[in-house]
Amino acid sequence: MKESDKKEFLLKFYNSKPILLLRNILTEIIGAKAKWLYFDSECNLVSGKAKVDTDISKILTRLRSKPSKEIQIFTCLSGKMCLSIPVTQGDNLYGYILVFYLKCEPDKNHLSFTQILIDTSLKEFQKEQELTKLYDTIRPRAIALSTIHTVHRLLTSTLDMDELIERIARLTLQVMRAKYCSIMLLDDSKDYLLPKAVIDLKNNTRGKKRHRKIKVGSYTEGKVAKTGKTILQQNLVCIPLIEEDIIGVLVARDKTNKTSFNKFDLEILLTLAEQAVIAIGNARLYEEQDKLAYGSIKSLAALLDAKSPNTFTHSEQFVKVVLAIAEEMRLPREEIRNLRYAALLPDTGKFSIPDEILKKQGGLSREEYNIIKKQHLESLKILGPLEFLKPAVPIIMYHHERYDGTGYPEGLKGQDIPIGARIMAVADAFEAMVSSRPYKDTKKSISQAIKEIEHNSGVQFDPGVVNAFISVSKKPEFQKLY
């Protein structure tokens, strides 16, 4: 134990409850006017006010020259007695409690009791101190570890790159208690860092300047991207994001409490960056898979369209309307992705329906309607082997269901119809009304089609989806489409 720690330990011990209790008990026995002084093992005063008189000086000199681990009784010049109680633990002598000017001499039992109380109290006090120290050391680390674990869970809960990068930046701000965070990733040429997420709580002009792309090698970010070495400054910490090679940099600036970034901050940020890199890698893989899947679906749609244009697929506007409704309804990204796939192949179910029924003008006979219902399910089997399309198949399958349960193929009703299918039903009906088809006599105006959709809310269509569609139809982006 360091000298300063030793002194602090003794001071705390002398002021601890058991010692105060001992003092109260002994005061009853030896008199209220007794003077209590507390010393370390070198006989330096630790606690208590003392004017070093001849008596005290004499006893201290004696204890210095002949340290004792036993309780001793001295007779002072005035004839009064003094008690020296050593504070010991095994071979270690921590200090002395000196009690001057006793009213009477304590008997042996009192002295034994005092010694036992001191020993036990010291043991307990030491244990308590160790536990406090352990608690003070471990608790912040455990909290930091729990934070990192939570960050890991938050980062791995999305595969959408934009959402992920934004989330990394927000979490960095929180964990670093910083006012600014930017995440820059290297472009394909690896010559420039492109800003992917910038959060500037101060929102000043310096922040705007940093939103530009940065050449590798220039500025702090560029230097870190070039060297792969972390930069830790008072108001900045910039670390490289390394997968196998450097993929970008993460920067945090300006602590909210105006203190400096320290090594602990750096340690936490490096751990967060490791999690971020794994999550970015996963999101990139997912993006690549999505591109492959989307490409395959587009090829399939093109093949079907070549066989019979506009029969199995719809316009680009249709896909945009479907996705706009889904965004308006704040559907989860995974659901929106499935809708995007389904919207490319909305009428694959028509594949094995005979042309004479498909292109028939006017109403269908009961028999023809039954053929459509049967063939609709049959046709969808061609999508079966495409694993990535599985979540999209129910959307395609059930988008001819009606909200009141009178649609096909299964007569599903209300919320039993998948949400994607309910969305596609509205967009499909709208598309059918506003576009010209060879087998259709008339087409409706946009406002007429919207009114028709509204009119069928709660009957053919989900009212929630209709409301979202109406909101979408009022947006300038929608008006540009038609």
Partner 1 sequence: MANIKRLFKNEVTKKILLFFNENPQSIDTAKGISIWVGCDADTTQKSLDKLVKEGILVNHKTSSIDAYSYTNQKDILKKIERHIEKLQ
Q: Closer to partner 1 at the Cβ: 139 or 443?
A: 139
Give least dist CB 467 to partner 1, A: 24
Q: What backbone torsions phi and psi does residue 85 show, to the nearest 5 degrees?
A: -110, 110
Sheet holding 45-47, edge to edge: 45-47, 35-40, 92-102, 81-89, 72-75
Q: Closer to partner 1 at the Cβ: 64 or 133?
A: 133
Q: Of 291, 286, 296, 300, which is closest to residue 347 (Cα–Cα)?
A: 300
CB atoms within 10 A of CB 225: 28
Q: Closer to partner 1 at the Cβ: 267 or 316?
A: 267
Asked whether the beta carbons of 30 and 103 are under 8 A apart, the reply is yes
Angle 156-160-164 from CA coordinates, rounded to 5°: 55
d(CA 481, CA 327): 17
Residues present in the chain in total: 482
Give least dist CB 282 to partner 1, A: 14
Q: Closer to partner 1 at the Cβ: 259 or 445?
A: 259
Q: Closer to partner 1 at the Cβ: 5 or 136?
A: 136
Half-sphere exposure of 329 (CA within 13 A, CB side): 26
Q: Closer to partner 1 at the Cβ: 253 or 350?
A: 253
Please give the residue ranges that form the binding site for partner 1 (CB under 8 A): 140, 143-144, 146-147, 150-151, 153-154, 157-158, 167, 170-171, 173-177, 179, 201, 256-257, 268, 332
Give least dist CB 150 to partner 1, A: 5
Burial class (CB in 10 A: 0-12, 13-18, 19+), 206: exposed
Angle 332-337-342 from CA coordinates, rounded to 5°: 125
Give least dist CB 251 to partner 1, A: 17
* CA distances from residue 20 to 14, 23, 287 in whole angstroms, order as listed: 8, 5, 70
Phi-psi region for residue 192, left (φ > 0), alpha (ψ -120 to 50) or beta? beta
Q: Closer to partner 1 at the Cβ: 204 or 406?
A: 204
Give least dist CB 415 to partner 1, A: 19
